[in-house]
Amino acid sequence: AQSVAQPEDQVNVAEGNPLTVKCTYSVSGNPYLFWYVQYPNRGLQFLLKYITGDNLVKGSYGFEAEFNKSQTSFHLKKPSALVSDSALYFCAVRDPYGNNRLAFGKGNQVVVIP
């Protein structure tokens, strides 16, 4: 079965510094990968996805993610973090066999320090 791992519970970064949130995946077949963000007391918001094509995917709010097939990784990045980026970030991989089920990682709390 497909799965993702987000190895860090919390990522602390100073405002203005680069932000990286790590994700590795395991799936048979072509990986369909997603990043979502959850602000306090809100639902999950879609940030970006990798289906096929360029390994660097650009998404909402200045975020991008780099797909690396050899390392089975899909790290989320932002060149310059904002305090408003403080939130819970989830990586997810889609079931490749048509269920459309998303398998989520446990989430990373990002804290951007002013």
Partner 1 sequence: EAQVTQNPRYLITVTGKKLTVTCSQNMNHEYMSWYRQDPGLGLRQIYYSMNVEVTDKGDVPEGYKVSRKEKRNFPLILESPSPNQTSLYFCASSPHEEGAYEQYFGPGTRLTVT
CA 35/CA 22 separation, integer angstroms: 11
Should residue 90 be labelled a site residue for partner 1 when binding is judged by CB under 8 A?
A: yes
Instruction: Give the shortest CB-80-to-partner 1 separation in angstroms.
Output: 25
Q: Which residues contact 40 (CB under 8 A, 6 or more apart)?
A: 87
Q: How many CA atoms lie within 13 A of 96 on its CB side?
A: 13
With respect to partner 1, which residue has the nearer C-beta, 42 or 58?
42
Should residue 22 be labelled a site residue for partner 1 when binding is judged by CB under 8 A?
A: no
Should residue 32 be labelled a site residue for partner 1 when binding is judged by CB under 8 A?
A: yes
Should residue 28 be labelled a site residue for partner 1 when binding is judged by CB under 8 A?
A: no
Should residue 67 be labelled a site residue for partner 1 when binding is judged by CB under 8 A?
A: no
Should residue 94 be labelled a site residue for partner 1 when binding is judged by CB under 8 A?
A: yes
The tokens describing 107, both together, are 């989430």
| Interface with partner 1 in residues 35-54 (CB under 8 A) | 36, 41-46, 49, 51
| Contact present, 59 and 48 (Cβ < 8 Å) | yes
